[in-house]
Structure 1
Amino acid sequence: MDVAHHQESVYSAWERFVQGDDRVLGVRPEVAISWHRCREQYRVDPHLTEAPIAVAEIEHRPEHDGVFAELGFRAATVAQDVSFAGGVVTVTDSTGRILAEWGDPATLARAAEANLAPWFCWSEPAAGTNGMGMALETHGPVLVKGPEHWCRAFHDWTCAGVAVRDVVTREPIAVLNISCWRSRLPSFAGGWLTNAAATTQGQLRRRARDSGAELLAAYTQARAGSAQPLAAMDTAGKVVIADETASVLLGVPAATPALDPTVRWTPGLPELGNAARYACTQAARNPDWIGSTQVFTHLTGDPVPIVLRPVFQSRHLIGTLVTFNATHETQISAPDETPSLPGPRRVVAQRENRMVLLRLPEVRFAESDGNEVWLSTDQGRLRAASASLDKLGGELAGAGFLRVHRRYVVNLSRIREVERGRGGELTLVMDQQDEAMVPVSRRNAPAVRRALDF
């Protein structure tokens, strides 16, 4: 299929999709999934003619300014080559707000007509499918060509983008993007974007290892003055080190430092990770903040009191020390961090190179397996488009689904039986031929009992 015919096929699929038809044959799955987010979740007008002005105020750490500066330097050095190709290169922050741009003057003037310019927002919720917006939603480089853009007014553009992400939290910090109007991207675009992002994230990874070493030092000092169970957690709520008792409570190896952010452990207590992230948010505003709360563990039905103390390195927040069986006068209750968005009507999955739109009743449960999320459905086992069980669970929370375990979210209407073990633990038997069984964590058991009214 030649390029013109392919573009015509994609445009025809776009026309059908914006009218509510889910047939997207010939459209790349990652683009189709982005279209689905724009139509179902973000409700972006496909006839939008320009990006809106950026209004979100974000709080970013000082090292993020270094990322912006690094990407700006790289963009400026390649600007002339991009200009020769009739393109523009942009740098955005984590909200999709363009911070600066360089490139061909004629293309910059054309870009200004669509507000492809500083201080305008190009996230997916603001401007639909585009290189910058998709890069914020996914991991790795993205390419959006012509009618793959969600908004008709942007169909004359081709763009490629890549996000630089915090190596600890995996949240986006910035996006580097190249766009061309009615022309192909320069041949070097993909490789240059990938290399620029990898180099910048390499610098962040080295800083994160240094922060891990500083957390370890703070943990060692605190442990020398106290016999209470102690753990150190980074800003993402992952465990850097825990002593023998705390490791049992958290379900992680004991006294084993994890300085590299890629090998740190997710605690077996989801609410503790939430509390640690909440503590970091408070400490970033008030460095003297110390808080106390309670968490449930698998060892006892009673809550365990904990104290959270932030740790700083050169005035930069790097994590939290968590002391078990301790209290502090400031009590905290971590809020729900899930943004308030309309609940989905469908769950998006992938089968090979196709997007599968599932009605909610078709999904029995979602299971986290390493870096992927899998769905047990009436159409078989499918890989979810969402890369995070936390995000998927938050989206489905108001639609009859419940988080029952750190690895599982279940459709309450698809539960056939509930088994009770000798120790009182619960297991859900799902309504499928092989009677798949889903464990319920002790912490989530009360919520399951309330939801099932028993």
Structure 2
Amino acid sequence: MTCAGPTEGVPHDRRAGTLSAWGAFVGGDDEAAGAVVPRHILSSWRRCRDVYDLDPLRPLVPAVGPPCSPRHRGLYAHLGGITSAVVRAVGGCIATVSDGHGRVIAVWTDARLRRNADTSSLDPQFCWSEDAAGTNGTGMALLRRGVVAVRGPEHWRAEMHDWNCVGAALTDPVLGEPVASISISSRCEETVATVARRLDDELAEPRRHLARQAARDAASMGRACAREQLRGLGAVVGLDLGGGIVAGDIGPRRRPGAGTEPDPTLRAIARTGLAEVATNPEWRTTFAPGPPLAHADELFEMRLVEGPDGPAGWLLVETDHPGEPSAAGRPANRSERVAAEGDRYVLLLDPHEIRFAEAQGHSVWLVTDRGRLRAMIRGIDNMERRLAEHGFVRVHRSFLVNPDRVQRIDQKGNGVITLSTDQARPEDIPVSRRSTHAVRQLLGL
């Protein structure tokens, strides 16, 4: 953020002392800085000089980084509202929202500083992480995972010495990693000090947003586990994105507190998976987690589960067949549509159009958005295999249901329930007693 003119509201002696210490430190003299520079700033300077090898006189250049996670788009929008409100209320400042890597997503300022904002390195192509931009509010907030102020010559880069900045970072409660930050920059130190006192309060609601998102993701994993359990093919475990167990078959496989402190094996495979699905959303793998999570010879297939906010977690399903991740990641070649016959015609149905399927002998009747049709596939077991990957569950020996289409649950007494996909009239789709618990969990009851 290049701007001419002295920093306002900074005691001259302190600023001069810091600037002198910075110059000496850049030249290799650490002793002078130790007496006048805060410890966390000095530690950052050492990283900039000795680890990152950053030239403090070189202007910031665009940096290529990973794309912003779609999972946090709602959070970024919320932070944008906060920063724009701060600019209106405080004035005389430039405000940015950055992702967890320090890359700028958006910038706000008032009319007086519009030119400074337009000529600064605040476009989305620029990154303000500490290793890219040196000591600054955004980078240090992400590193220290809190609120950090950087004043005038405390910045590593010389072109920032006329600015005071305060950064505040938010951490994903599941992954334990920073996901976003707000930075407020001003020539006036008093402005930054005022903003710093209110930022922690301003971020209370975004933190609650992240907590609610984690709860929604855990509920999504509970429903995904319930669907698999209804198929009865083996043990099922639901992990959050960080590898913590949040749902499924717990018993001896789940150690106490595993949902908040992932087993190292699961944490490692979950981190590997996140890197893989960034380029291949269909990625999956098979591995043996071993004791105490499973018996030594048990294999589990792991795949990503999508929730309402994007990736929600990992589903582990016991399997007898080792698989190659690359092969499992390839999309199926065959059509996903389901053929059904009407009067002198055949319809090709998308699975989401099917509300439920009912067996009558070897025939399977589909209740769909286009009416009641007989499937070309014969046998409810064959239809179950065909629709399982689309979330359909076997709730009764004669019925498959699309849980996303269930609109009504009727209590019949003695724990018996029936389902309906039509709000206007009860369809009384039976649920077997052995499936009732899993169905209730799947539907969030």
Same-fold call, TM > 0.5? yes
Letter in 2 for 1:55: V
Evaluate the alpha carbon distance shift between residue 230 and residue 266 of structure 1 in structure 2; reply closer, same or farther with a 3 A threshold.
Answer: farther
Counterpart in 2 of 1:43?
53
Secondary structure in structure 1 of the residue aligned to 2:223: helix
Among residues 137, 140, 156, which one is paired with 1:134 in the alignment? Answer: 140
Paired with 1:243 and 1:153, the residues of 2 have a C-alpha distance of 56
Counterpart in 1 of 2:262?
267
Among residues 160, 165, 176, which one is paired with 2:171 in the alignment? Answer: 165
1:320 lines up with 2:329 in the alignment:
no
Counterpart in 2 of 1:94?
100
Q: For the Cα contact (< 8 Å) 2:270–2:314, is it kept in 1?
A: yes
TM-score scaled to structure 1, two decimals? 0.62
**1:33-432 equivalent positions in 2, closer than 5 A:** 33-48=43-58, 50-61=59-70, 63-83=71-91, 86-181=92-187, 183-186=189-192, 188-226=194-232, 228-241=234-247, 243-247=250-254, 252-253=255-256, 264-268=259-263, 270-283=264-277, 285-295=279-289, 297=291, 305-314=299-308, 316-323=310-317, 326-331=320-325
The Cα shift of 1:229 comes to: 4.4
Q: For the Cα contact (< 8 Å) 2:218–2:246, is it kept in 1?
A: yes
Q: Percent identity?
A: 31
Paired with 1:111 and 1:287, the residues of 2 have a C-alpha distance of 37
Secondary structure in structure 1 of the residue aligned to 2:228: helix
Secondary structure in structure 2 of the residue aligned to 1:142: strand
Evaluate the alpha carbon distance shift between residue 11 and residue 41 of structure 1 in structure 2; reply closer, same or farther with a 3 A threshold.
Answer: same
Letter in 2 for 1:38: C
Counterpart in 2 of 1:20?
28
Secondary structure in structure 2 of the residue aligned to 1:89: strand
Evaluate the alpha carbon distance shift between residue 8 and residue 187 of structure 1 in structure 2; reply closer, same or farther with a 3 A threshold.
Answer: closer
Paired with 2:169 and 2:152, the residues of 1 have a C-alpha distance of 21
Secondary structure in structure 2 of the residue aligned to 1:175: strand
Evaluate the alpha carbon distance shift between residue 301 and residue 8 of structure 1 in structure 2; reply closer, same or farther with a 3 A threshold.
Answer: farther
Paired with 2:121 and 2:303, the residues of 1 have a C-alpha distance of 44
Secondary structure in structure 1 of the residue aligned to 2:216: helix
Paired with 1:303 and 1:331, the residues of 2 have a C-alpha distance of 19
Secondary structure in structure 1 of the residue aligned to 2:46: helix
Residue by residue over 1:248-291, the C-alpha shift from the partner in whole angstroms, topping out at 9 and shown as x without a partner, is xxxx22xxxx7xxxx833233x2332112323444455554431
Counterpart in 1 of 2:19?
11
Q: Flag structure 1 segments of 5+ consecutive residues without an equivalent.
A: 334-454
Evaluate the alpha carbon distance shift between residue 112 and residue 41 of structure 1 in structure 2; reply closer, same or farther with a 3 A threshold.
Answer: farther
TM-score scaled to structure 2, two decimals? 0.63
Q: For the Cα contact (< 8 Å) 1:157–1:180, is it kept in 2?
A: yes
Q: For the Cα contact (< 8 Å) 1:7–1:146, is it kept in 2?
A: yes
The Cα shift of 1:102 comes to: 2.1
Evaluate the alpha carbon distance shift between residue 68 and residue 160 of structure 1 in structure 2; reply closer, same or farther with a 3 A threshold.
Answer: same
Letter in 1 for 2:26: V
Paired with 1:191 and 1:202, the residues of 2 have a C-alpha distance of 19
The Cα shift of 1:32 comes to: 1.8
Paired with 2:201 and 2:212, the residues of 1 have a C-alpha distance of 17
Letter in 1 for 2:211: R
Paired with 2:145 and 2:184, the residues of 1 have a C-alpha distance of 17
Evaluate the alpha carbon distance shift between residue 298 and residue 20 of structure 1 in structure 2; reply closer, same or farther with a 3 A threshold.
Answer: farther
Q: For the Cα contact (< 8 Å) 1:246–1:324, is it kept in 2?
A: no
Q: For the Cα contact (< 8 Å) 1:92–1:176, is it kept in 2?
A: yes
Question: When the two structures are aligned, how many residues end up with a matched partner?
Answer: 315
Higher deviation after alignment, 118-127 or 200-209? 118-127
Higher deviation after alignment, 206-215 or 298-307? 298-307
Secondary structure in structure 2 of the residue aligned to 1:235: coil
Q: For the Cα contact (< 8 Å) 1:91–1:100, is it kept in 2?
A: yes
Paired with 2:311 and 2:122, the residues of 1 have a C-alpha distance of 34
Q: For the Cα contact (< 8 Å) 2:99–2:180, is it kept in 1?
A: yes
The structure with more radius of gyration: 2
Residue by residue over 1:188-227, the C-alpha shift from the partner in whole angstroms, topping out at 9 and shown as x without a partner, is 3013322232211211211211211221232244345447
Higher deviation after alignment, 94-103 or 203-212? 94-103
Evaluate the alpha carbon distance shift between residue 114 and residue 207 of structure 1 in structure 2; reply closer, same or farther with a 3 A threshold.
Answer: closer
The Cα shift of 1:303 comes to: 6.8
Paired with 2:151 and 2:23, the residues of 1 have a C-alpha distance of 16
Q: For the Cα contact (< 8 Å) 1:82–1:104, is it kept in 2?
A: no
The Cα shift of 1:52 comes to: 1.6
Letter in 1 for 2:72: H
Paired with 1:9 and 1:327, the residues of 2 have a C-alpha distance of 68
Letter in 1 for 2:250: D
The Cα shift of 1:183 comes to: 4.6
Q: For the Cα contact (< 8 Å) 2:238–2:246, is it kept in 1?
A: yes
Evaluate the alpha carbon distance shift between residue 303 and residue 131 of structure 1 in structure 2; reply closer, same or farther with a 3 A threshold.
Answer: farther
Paired with 1:8 and 1:327, the residues of 2 have a C-alpha distance of 69
Evaluate the alpha carbon distance shift between residue 283 and residue 90 of structure 1 in structure 2; reply closer, same or farther with a 3 A threshold.
Answer: closer
